[in-house]
Amino acid sequence: MASHLSASSRSCNKTPASLDPRGCSCAPFMVMAESTQEPPLHVVVFPWLAFGHIVPFLELAGQLARRGHLVTFVSAPRNVARLPRELSPRIRLVSLPLPAVDGLPDGAESTADVPPEKVELLKLAFDGLAGPVASFLAEAFAGAGGEGHAKRPDWIILDFAHNWLPPIAEQHKVPCALFLIFPAPFVAFMGPKAANDAHPRTAPEQFTVPPPWIPSASSTPAFHLHEAKRIAGGFHPNASGTSDMSRFWETERRCPLLVCRSSREVDGPAACALLRELYGKPVVPSGLLAPYDAVLAAAHAGGGGGGEEEEDAGGGVGPVMRWLDAQPARSVALKRIHTPYAVTRKLCLVLPFLVK
């Protein structure tokens, strides 16, 4: 595994000339298993308890499985039960129940199950998984020499909230990759701990302008004040005893590889280069991780027949793409509301009037 890691470190110091929109081959687990002389990797994938995170992590797991690797996907039982049943046989689902926490509703296992003000309690419950995860990994590594999903894990892909997991992984000498569902410009804007220590931001207004570590020529945006207030809140401790940013910084510090949900075509070729400079480690763009099967079906439907079978195969994506293709340039605006955002009646009424 050390040879894989060192090879990935060297190759990730170069921005690929053209990124595959379904992923990037800079990381060892992104390489087709058939293209090497070594057996498939076994990768543990463990997202934060929000479907805005679970879905792209699951899509990433699917990409790894399509490359011939084995994936163990970990989440809480209700979240696992909500996942599609028609997954690759290379993906194994593992459920780890959350411990009870005072104030957290019974059965709450994702941000979709709680109001925004109780998400911090979900983080407290999430921290209670440290013991079960340690036991799960100890059992997984005890099976060294096994085959299939019994094979000891080669990598763990985790999320921003897992600050307690890298120390457990280090006990078993398995490397962790931090997968951030955010694009590279956002990760650059938030910045590493050293940059924030040198230029602390305490007021929401400080998030409405680019930070000092962003080059003046960069197109990295800042936030509107109403957005900045929520972003600034992530720098302050919550009921879990730590802040979201502290979780991220501690997790990032212990991970030798950073993966961002970015692509060169969307974010520009300099985005990952800036992150490598800021964080001092290899950075891999995963691509946008659009649902693979739906994209293929839509492309197939748009390329010819357009029959009912093709439209059904795309889950309705084909007709939507053809409708978009038929519209004049710059005539359609797409508003993406981050899941699981609770859209109020007032917002529903005002949205149509926001675009002139």
Tens digit of each residue's pLDDT (9 = 90 or more) over 310-349: 444 344 556 777 788 888 988 887 666 555 666 677 777 7
Q: Looking at 127, 154, 159, 244, which residue is catalytic?
A: 159
Final residue in a domain of this structure, among 272, 290, 308: 290
Q: 221 — phi, psi (to 5°)?
A: -80, 165
Tokens of 192: 């590493």
Q: What are phi and psi of 266, to 5 degrees?
A: -90, -45
267 part of the active site? no
Residue-wise pLDDT tens digits, 63-86? 999 999 999 999 999 999 999 988
pLDDT tens sequence across 189-220: 999 999 999 999 989 999 999 999 998 766 66
Same domain? For 206 and 298 the reply is no
For this structure, is 159 an active site residue? Answer: yes
pLDDT for the residue 7: 30
Cα(231)–Cα(209) distance, rounded to whole angstroms?
13
CATH of residue 70's domain is 3.40.50.2000
Tell me how crowded residue 316 is: count the other CB atoms within 10 A of its CB: 13
When divided into structural domains, the chain yields a total of 2
Last-in-domain residue among 271, 290, 309 = 290
**Cα dist from 187 to 103, 132, 217, 221, whole Å:** 32, 30, 17, 11
Q: Do residues 102 and 141 share a domain?
A: yes
- Bridge partners of 176? 156
Q: Which candidate in 4, 42, 53, 69 is catalytic?
A: 53
Q: Give the C-alpha separation, 242 to 234, whole Å.
A: 10
Say if residue 284 is in the same domain as residue 198. yes
Average pLDDT of the chain?
A: 83
303: its two tokens: 């390329």
217-258 pLDDT, tens digit each: 666 678 999 999 999 999 999 999 999 999 999 999 999 999
Domain boundary among 290, 313, 339: 290
Q: Write out the residue range of the structural domain in which residue 333 sits.
A: 294-353
DSSP state of 148: G
86-89 long-range contacts, CB within 8 A, separation 24+: 87/62, 88/62
Residue 269 has pLDDT above 90, yes or no: no
Q: What's the pTM value of the predicted model, to 2 decimals?
A: 0.81
User: Within a 10 A sphere around the Cβ of 196, how many other Cβ atoms?
Assistant: 16
List, for residues 130-162, the tens digit of each pLDDT value.
999 999 999 998 866 678 898 999 999 999 999
